[in-house]
Amino acid sequence: MMGLTMCEGKFVGRDEIALVPTPTATASWKPVPHCEVIDAVTDVVKAHNWQILDEQYGLARDGQRMFGFMRINKTHSPEWSRCIGIRNSHDQSIAVGLAAGLCVKVCSNLMLGGSMVLKRRHTSRIELNGLVLEAVEELETEFLTLETVAEDLKCLYVREDAARIAIVKAAEAGAVNSSDILPIFREFKEPQHEEFAEPTRWSLLNAFTENAKKYSPARADVCYRGLTRLFGLDGQPPTLWK
């Protein structure tokens, strides 16, 4: 199973998500039920003839925020599966959004890259279906970018002193907690999986995502978005090595 282990908030199935009440709409705000977002993505994934290999969902803030991941069978590498990150809120804190991701097969570490697409704070179900279809089409480009960057990271070596500095920078940027600096560095030096024994940026990224497994869905969302920019997973120059 991909993703995270829970230290706050809770992981749930689709049935429990369907029980989360949706706030009453107003003239200026029309909240989207969490289950409708998931159903809309599922419909589009099936329309593309993709298989959902597994999925994981989490709720935070008493059900006000939903985060999820669908791992799908379409991929261009035996090293990872493609996945779609999903998020939604009932408290206007975040817009409904989708993101391209990779789930590394050897360790189930999740990487979300690029930017959230869709990003609508209120819409009708009919509009949602069309928006999700457009968003998934846009994610195809995001997948290719993410996979290209991942291949590049495997070729770039990192010295221990540079890794230390990078981890501290990530903590300063808020991508990880300061208390996680040493655990991430230890994972980089002595990885749990031999596939990351080479001291590369790829291995360092996986040390970060291994650590992120203990985060709540909301904290993990912040972490992944931070790592996206730091490592250049969006195809832009990385900021971690400046």
What separation in angstroms does the CA of 89 have from each of 65, 106, 188? 4, 32, 34
Q: How many CA atoms lie within 13 A of 76 on its CB side?
A: 11
Q: Given this model, what pLDDT does residue 207 score?
A: 97
| Residue 118 three-state SS | strand
Q: Given this model, what pLDDT does residue 198 score?
A: 97
Q: Dump pLDDT digits (tens) for 158-198.
A: 999 999 999 999 999 999 999 999 999 999 999 999 999 99
Contact assessment for residue 123 and residue 40, using Cβ atoms and an 8 Å cutoff: no
Q: Which amino acid is at 91?
A: D
Query: Which of 29-38, 65-74, 82-91, 153-162 shows the highest mean pLDDT?
Result: 153-162
Contact assessment for residue 72 and residue 63, using Cβ atoms and an 8 Å cutoff: no
Query: Which residue did the predictor score with more confidence, 198 or 25?
Result: 198
Percent of the chain topping pLDDT 90: 46
Q: Given this model, what pLDDT does residue 4 score?
A: 44
Q: Given this model, what pLDDT does residue 91 score?
A: 87
pLDDT beyond 80 at 211: yes
Average pLDDT estimate for 222-236: 92
Residue of 155, 150, 168 lying closest to 231 (CA atoms): 150
Average pLDDT estimate for 123-139: 77
Average pLDDT estimate for 154-160: 96
Q: Given this model, what pLDDT does residue 209 score?
A: 94
pTM of the model: 0.86
CB atoms within 10 A of CB 232: 20
Q: How many CA atoms lie within 13 A of 50 on its CB side?
A: 22
56 strand-pairing partners: 69
Average pLDDT estimate for 216-224: 86
Q: Given this model, what pLDDT does residue 109 score?
A: 86
Q: Given this model, what pLDDT does residue 188 score?
A: 98
